[in-house]
Each structure stands twice: as structure tokens, then as C-alpha cells.
């Protein structure tokens, strides 16, 4: 009986998360940021809230945002030493790095800063494996897609084909990782990520008149969507996609989808946060930690939207429409 | 074999102190882990979370009390330790409510304390309310204690 209490309930970690949740930005702070005169004032407000490093007033806002991400993962790594548990959140960085490595290798040019840290595999390993075509150095799940995407890009010169192959493999890996975690919240996140990506691909495919073969290559099997029905709908156009989605768990998304792709993306992010909210009252398990990671990622995304909006002189209303719901 | 009565009475006392104590150790331990998490983030919360951590510790004390009374009654602590098998079994039965009730209620109270510690971490001003939730679990430990005490003192009047 005691074994379960000692190893699996993350009591200490969840208590630390409860304390850390106090420092999350709530709606009032988001409103203050949106109402700020300019990006500099936003950065000042964020620095007051402890964002960035101490003593650093944050001359580079992007540096502040990536520092916040790093701080979040430092805390999570300290609380959950078994890093693979949260692979579901880190896998997209791996596959993004794979795309970057393939493009860099084909273009024979090194682009600075295109690799994302906080991944499960060292970006340098991916870069070297792709450059030397030594795919065996990559994890098993990545070998096949790395070879195929690399060859496809080399032969066709079509970056989009390479992207859809890697993106689909990424979604499959996220779904697999979610299922392996056996944690309800991680599985839910993986499923929503895959389903929303499929919907976005279907809509873009319908708008650009992509054929069945393309859609079948790009769409990833998931539990909450029937890929065949979605493919057929995408071939008929966006209205057919909306009609199909109305019969699924994503019926509420139809209205947002009709507005714009950005509105739909915002709806997806908000849905994840809403589904995670019950974790605020859960004292045990991985759920509250996973919810905190998502809440942090979400608020960093919102702050990036506000800062970019301010730098480009967008109105408060335009920024408000894009900012995500807060977790606390 | 003539001391079998004494053996059962002692077994009851041992289970009462042992199981209730083990429950409290698990309860205080789990709450302590949550308390450590909160104090890592907010060191000034120490006194508040300490009270919540200690709540599941009472079952261990109740178990000790029952064991102590039993040992006194059967003469182990001084007097005549000769009791019949029937009386020994009666003492054993009398200790069971505290042993089982103590074990389970302490673990449940520990889990409830963890949740309450989370509450205090988020809303330190709600400390009073946070204390009430785990304290409710205490009711059932007290009921077990009461039954065990009444039974042990009642055994003296049993005519064998």
C-alpha cells in the first residue's frame, strides 16, 4: 500500500506546483498588459512579476520569453527526474529540429538559431545524423521518417512534402507518447493536439485544393476523428469539413473555423486549458504538473502575442481577440 | 498454553499501537512531503502547514493509549498477569476498532491533509477552513477510540 504513496502520487511535486501556480499570470494581469502603452511597458510589467532574470529589465523581449520557458522546464526537471514522462510536450521540438536539419543539409547552409532546445534528443545529434545520412544514430521511431523526408526533399525539392511527412510522424509520436504515459491528462493533450492539427491540415488542404493522396499523407489517425470522413470532406471544401466536424467532439469549433484559422487555433488552446482546469483541485499525480506546463506554455504564447501586437501597433481589441484564456 | 489468554490480549495491544502508529506514520509522511513542497516555494508557510501535517499523527497516540490501558488491565504493567483465554480474546477484540480504524483513518486523513496543504498554499487566509476538512476524518478515529476504551473497561465486569 505504501509503495503507491511513495512513488506514484507526486505529492511533493504537486505542492511545489501549487506554490508556482500563484505566480502564473491571471486575467487581470493579462488585461494590464493588453492596456499597456507599448511593448516596453509590457516588459517592465512582466519584469515586476518576476519574468526574465533578476536585475535584467529585459531589453530583448524574446530572450525574456525563452528564459521563462527554460525556468519552467528547470522546475519540471527538478520535480520529475524521469524526463521521458513529459516527452509528449517535447517531441514537437525534436521533429521541428529534424525539419531544420533536413533543410539545412539540402540547402548546404547553416542557419543560426533554427534549432529548438528543450527537446528529447540533442539537436546536434539530429543535425549530424541527417548531414551524414547516418539515420541509425536517431531513435527508432524517427529513422524511417528522417530517411523518407530527406530523400523526398532531395528528389522533389518540395519543402512542403518534407514538412507534412515529418509533421505527421510528429503527431503519431505525440499520440504514442500520450498513450504510453497512461495519464489521462497527457493522453487528452496528445489527442487534442493531433485532432486540431488534422483539422488545420484539412482546412488548409481544402483551401488550396490538395488531392486525396496529399491529404492521406498529411492526416494522422486519431481516436476522436474519422480520417477517411475528414479526407472526403476536405476534398469537397471547407463547408463539408464544418458539416463533418458538427458531428464530432469538435462541433463548437465550427463557428471559430468559419471566422479564421487564428480563431480556430485560439479555440484549440482554450479547449486544452479548460479541460485542464479541474487539475487545479487535484492534489496527487501527474495531472496538475502537466496542466502547469500547458498553462505556462499558454501564457508565454499569450505574452508573445501581446508583445508582437504592441510592437506592430495593433489595437487593444485586435490583441484581445488573439490572447488565450488563462489557467488561473 | 496456559498463557494463551495473555498472548491474545498482548497481540491486541500490539496491533493497536502498531497499526494505528503505522497509519499515522504514512499519513504524517505523505502530508510532510506536501508540506515540504509548499515550504520550498513559500518558507513563511511553515507554521501553517506544520499543523496540517500533524493532524494524522493523533491516531498513533490513540493506539498507544489503548495499548497502554490494555497492558495495565491485564497486569503486564504490574499485578497478576494470569487471565483466561476467553478474557484474552475479549481484550484482543476490544483493541481491534482502534487498530483497524486508526490505520485506515490516519491514511485517509493524511491524504486529506495533502489537499488542505494545497489549499493553504494557494489561499493562506483560508487556513481555518483548510484545517476543518482533515479534522472531520478525526471523528472516526475518535469513535474507534471510544469503542475500544469502553470495551476494555467493560471486560473487567465480564464474569469469567
Chain B residues touching residue A11 (CB < 8 angstroms): 30, 33-34, 37, 114
- Compare CB distances from B37 to A1, A5, A16 and report the shortest one's residue: A16
Residue B160 clears pLDDT 80, i.e. is over it: no
Q: What are the C-alpha distances in Å from A119 to residues A73, A92, B155?
A: 11, 8, 68
Average pLDDT, chain A: 88
The alpha carbon of residue B133 is apart from the nearest alpha carbon of chain A, in Å, by 14
* A191 vs A66: which has the higher pLDDT: A191
The reported pLDDT for the residue numbered A230 is 93
Q: Cβ A284–B111 below 8 Å, yes or no? A: yes
Based on the fold, state whether residues A92 and A75 are members of the same structural domain: no
What is the ipTM metric for this complex? 0.81
Q: Which of A11, A14, A16 sits opposite B40 (nearest CB)?
A: A16
A13/B contact by beta carbon, under 8 A = yes
The three-state secondary structure class of A50 is coil
* Final residue belonging to a domain, choices A162, A179, A196: A179
A269 in Cβ contact with A284 (< 8 Å): no
Q: What is the structure's pLDDT at A108? A: 81
- Domain boundary among the residues A130, A158, A179 is at A179
Interface of B with A (CB under 8 A): 26, 29-30, 33-38, 40-42, 107, 111, 114-115, 117-118, 121-122
| Residues from chain A contacting residue B112 (CB–CB below 8 Å) | none
User: Taking 60 as the threshold, does the pLDDT of residue A245 lie above it?
Assistant: yes
Residue of A4, A5, A21, A277 to mutate, interface with B, max B Cβ within 10 Å: A5
Could you tell me if A114 and A50 lie in one domain?
no
Binned at pLDDT 50, 70 and 90, residue A4 comes out as: very low
Which residues are CB-contacts of A216 (< 8 A; sequence separation ≥ 6)? A227, A231
What are chain B's domains?
A: 20-154 (1.20.120.610)
Shortest distance, CA B143 to any CA of chain A (angstroms): 24
Which pLDDT score is estimated for A55?
A: 59
Task: Please check whether residues A212 and A202 belong to one and the same domain.
Answer: yes
Averaged pLDDT, A146-155: 89
Closest approach of A8 to chain B, Cα-based (Å): 12
- CATH code of the domain covering residue A114: 1.20.1690
Asked if A20 and A49 touch (Cβ cutoff 8 Å), the reply is no
Structure letter (DSSP) for residue A59: S
Most distant pair of Cα atoms in chain A: their distance: 59
- The predicted-structure confidence for A195-242, as pLDDT tens digits, reads as follows 999 999 999 899 898 889 889 989 999 999 999 999 999 999 989 999
- Together in a domain, A258 and A202: yes
**Closest Cα of chain B to A75: distance in Å?**
11
pLDDT tens-digit readout, A109-132 = 877 778 887 788 898 899 889 888
Residue A56 pLDDT level (bands cut at 50, 70, 90): low
Percent of chain A with pLDDT over 90: 53
Pure H helices in B42-126: 46-54, 58-73, 85-122
Residues A150 and A210 grouped into a single domain:
no
What chain A residue is nearest to B22 in terms of C-alpha separation?
A2
A112 and A122: one domain? yes
Check whether residue A111 and residue A144 sit in a common domain. Answer: yes
| Mean pLDDT calculated for residue range A69-87 | 89
The pLDDT score that the predictor gives to residue A62 is 74
pLDDT of residue A7 exceeding 70, the answer is: no
- How far apart (Å, rounded) are the C-alpha atoms in residues A127 and A111? 12
pLDDT at B10: 95
- A85 shares contact with chain B (CB less than 8 Å): no
Note down the domain range covering A190.
Answer: 183-285
Position A2 pLDDT exceeds 50: no
Q: Cβ(A253)–Cβ(A264) under 8 Å?
A: yes
pLDDT tens track for B81-107:
888 999 999 999 999 999 999 999 999
Of B126, B132, B124, B112, nearest to B45 (Cα)? Answer: B124
Residues of B in contact with A18 (CB under 8 A): 37-38, 41, 118, 121-122
Q: For chain A, how many structural domains are there in total?
A: 3
Whether A163 and A129 map to the same domain: the answer is yes
Q: What is the pLDDT of residue B1?
A: 62
First to last CA, chain A: 34
Q: Which residues of A touch B30 (CB under 8 A)?
A: 5, 9, 11
**Alpha-carbon torsion angle A58, A63, A69, A71, nearest 10:** -60
* Percent residues over pLDDT 90 in chain B: 88
SS3 label, residue A272: helix
Q: What is the CATH number of the domain that holds A9?
A: 1.10.132.50
Q: Could you give phi then psi for residue A225, rounded to 5 degrees? A: -130, 145
Contact A15 B122 (CB under 8 A): no
Same domain, A198 and A167: no
Could you tell me if A246 lies within 8 Å of chain B, comparing CB atoms? no
- DSSP characters over A60-93: SHHHHHHHHHHHHHHHHHHH---GGGGHHHHHHH
B115·A283 Cβ contact <8 A = yes
Nearest residue in B to A11, CA atom: B34
Residues pairing with A225 in the sheet:
A222
Task: Label residue A157 by pLDDT band (50, 70, 90).
Answer: confident
Residues from chain A contacting residue B133 (CB–CB below 8 Å): none
Cβ contact (<8 Å) for B37 and A14? yes
Report chain B residues whose CB lies below 8 A from the CB of A1. Answer: 26, 107
Angle between helices A61-79 and A39-48 (to 10 degrees): 30
Using the 8-state DSSP alphabet, how is residue A281 labeled? Answer: G
Specify whether A166 is located in the same domain as A191: no
pLDDT tens digits, A270-307:
999 999 999 999 988 889 999 999 999 999 999 999 99
pLDDT digits (tens, 9 = 90+) for B27-72: 999 999 999 999 998 899 999 999 999 999 999 999 999 999 999 9
Domain end among A150, A179, A208: A179
Cα of A1 to nearest chain B Cα, Å: 10
Is A158 found in the same domain as A112? yes
Do A201 and A146 share a structural domain? no
* A31-45, A47-61, A201-215, B89-103: range with lowest mean pLDDT: A47-61
Q: Which residues contact B63 (CB under 8 A, 6 or more apart)?
A: B16, B17, B18, B19, B20, B21, B24, B98, B99, B102
**Interface contact flag, B121 A12, Cβ < 8 Å:** no
pLDDT in the model for residue A60: 61
CA–CA gap between residue B112 and residue B137 (Å, rounded): 8
Say whether A125 sits in a helix, a strand or coil: helix
Of A295, A316, A321, which is closest to residue A17 (Cα–Cα)? Answer: A295
State CA A228 to chain mean position distance.
25
Task: Compute the distance between CA of residue A201 and CA of residue A235 in angstroms, rounded to an integer.
Answer: 12
CA pair distance A304, A323, nearest whole angstrom: 9
Q: Burial, B11: exposed, middle or buried (Cβ in 10 Å; 0-12, 13-18, 19+)?
A: middle
Amino acid at each position: 500500500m505504501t509503495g503507491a504513496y511513495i512513488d506514484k502520487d507526486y505529492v511533493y511535486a504537486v505542492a511545489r506546483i501549487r506554490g508556482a501556480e500563484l505566480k502564473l499570470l491571471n486575467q487581470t494581469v493579462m488585461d494590464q498588459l493588453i492596456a499597456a502603452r507599448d511593448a516596453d511597458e509590457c516588459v517592465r510589467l512582466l519584469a515586476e512579476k518576476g519574468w526574465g532574470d533578476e536585475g535584467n529589465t529585459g531589453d530583448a523581449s524574446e530572450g525574456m520569453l525563452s528564459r521563462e520557458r527554460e525556468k519552467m522546464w528547470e522546475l519540471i526537471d527538478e520535480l520529475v527526474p524521469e524526463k521521458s514522462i513529459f516527452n509528449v510536450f517535447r517531441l514537437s521540438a525534436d521533429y521541428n529540429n529534424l525539419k531544420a536539419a533536413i533543410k539545412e543539409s539540402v540547402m548546404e547552409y547553416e542557419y543560426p538559431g533554427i534549432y529548438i532546445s528543450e527537446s528529447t534528443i540533442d539537436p546536434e545529434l539530429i543535425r549530424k545524423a541527417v548531414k551524414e545520412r547516418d539515420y541509425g544514430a536517431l531513435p527508432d521511431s524517427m529513422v524511417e521518417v528522417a530517411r523518407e523526408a530527406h530523400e523526398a526533399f532531395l528528389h522533389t525539392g518540395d519543402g512542403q512534402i518534407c514538412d507534412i511527412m515529418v509533421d505527421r510522424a510528429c503527431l503519431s509520436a505525440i499520440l504514442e507518447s500520450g498513450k504510453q504515459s497512461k495519464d489521462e491528462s497527457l493522453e487528452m493533450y496528445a489527442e487534442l493536439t493531433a485532432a486540431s492539427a488534422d483539422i488545420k491540415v484539412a482546412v488548409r488542404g481544402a483551401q488550396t485544393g490538395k488531392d486525396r493522396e496529399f491529404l492521406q499523407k498529411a492526416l494522422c489517425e486519431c481516436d476522436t476523428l474519422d480520417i477517411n470522413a475528414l479526407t472526403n470532406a476536405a476534398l469537397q471544401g471547407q463547408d463539408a469539413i464544418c458539416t463533418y466536424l458538427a458531428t464530432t467532439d469538435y462541433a463548437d469549433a465550427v463557428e471559430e473555423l468559419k471566422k479564421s484559422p487564428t480563431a480556430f487555433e485560439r479555440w484549440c488552446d482554450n479547449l486544452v486549458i479548460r479541460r485542464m482546469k479541474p487539475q487545479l483541485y487535484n492534489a496527487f499525480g501527474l495531472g496538475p504538473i502537466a496542466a502547469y506546463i500547458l498553462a505556462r506554455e499558454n501564457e508565454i504564447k499569450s505574452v508573445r502575442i501581446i508583445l508582437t501586437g504592441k510592437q506592430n501597433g495593433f489595437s487593444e481589441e485586435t490583441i484581445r481577440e488573439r490572447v488565450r484564456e488563462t489557467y488561473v | 498454553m496456559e498463557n494463551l489468554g495473555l498472548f491474545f490480549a498482548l497481540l491486541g495491544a500490539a496491533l493497536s499501537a502498531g497499526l494505528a502508529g503505522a497509519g499515522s506514520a504514512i499519513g504524517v509522511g505523505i502530508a510532510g512531503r506536501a508540506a515540504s513542497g509548499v515550504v520550498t516555494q513559500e518558507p513563511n508557510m511553515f507554521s501553517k502547514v506544520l499543523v496540517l501535517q500533524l493532524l494524522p499523527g493523533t491516531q498513533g497516540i490513540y493506539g498507544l493509549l489503548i495499548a497502554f490501558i490494555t497492558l495495565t488491565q491485564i497486569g503486564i504493567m504490574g499485578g497478576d498477569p494470569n487471565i483466561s483465554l476467553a478474557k484474552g480474546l475479549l481484550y484482543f477484540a476490544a483493541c481491534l476498532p482502534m487498530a483497524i480504524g486508526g490505520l485506515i483513518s490516519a491514511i485517509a486523513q493524511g491524504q486529506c491533509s495533502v489537499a488542505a496543504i494545497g489549499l493553504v498554499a494557494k489561499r493562506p487566509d483560508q487556513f481555518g477552513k483548510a484545517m476543518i476538512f482533515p479534522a472531520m476524518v478525526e471523528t472516526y478515529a475518535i469513535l474507534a477510540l471510544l469503542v475500544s476504551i469502553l470495551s476494555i473497561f467493560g471486560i473487567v465486569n465480564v464474569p469469567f
